[in-house]
Amino acid sequence: MKVQRLFLESLDTPTGKMRIVTDEEGRLRALDWESHDERMRRLLQRHLGTNDFELVEPKRPSKARRSLEAYFKGKLEAVEELKTATGGTDFQRAVWKALRRIPAGETISYGELAKRIGKPKAMRAVGLANGANPIAIVVPCHRVIGADATLTGYGGGLDRKRWLLAHERAHTGAGSAAQPELAL
């Protein structure tokens, strides 16, 4: 069996060091904080369906890395068009696709996300799919909050979720009348 070659980069961000994994076609395969490296590797194994991959340093920064640098500098749209490749079930991919349609600076509830994919009673399954997302920020699972506007689970931690939402709102002007204040 051929070992799949993936590229691993690190990026210092205001929320900690990130790990970025892309493939030979430049598609983003995984993204997580260095402090969650083991979680990212487990998700990679699950989504690739194999342990037969190697992580190597790229010769030059990937488009994903450059886009994430721009995102953290306030150019939020920089990550919107990134090509991604994940495994996951059809249901998970439907949730992740719907997540990418939530505009920066806005939030929705798990229930609303379930409605948007045509499964209004699947709130818990949507939550599980959200938690299995291997590509934080680009597939913006941080934009999903509790029905009462409370911040709920986030693989990177609630402090990072809070920071990401505040960062997006600061650069979009969202949050005043359009969005409820987040209950902390």
User: What b-and-e string marks burial along 138-153, b requiring 16 or more CB atoms within 10 Å of the CB?
Assistant: bbbbbbbbbeeeebee
C-beta of residue 64 within 8 angstroms of C-beta of residue 139: no
Quick one: tokens of 104?
């920066």
Q: Which of 44, 117, 122, 141 is catalytic?
A: 141
Q: Which residues, 6 or more positions from 60, have their beta carbon under 8 angstroms from its beta carbon? A: none
Q: Tokens standing for 2? A: 């051929």
| Catalytic residue check, 60 | no
54 burial (CB, 10 Å; 0-12 / 13-18 / 19+) is exposed
Which tokens in the block code for residue 160? 């990072």
Residues 6+ away with beta carbon under 8 Å from 168: 76, 104, 105, 143, 174
Catalytic residue annotation: 141
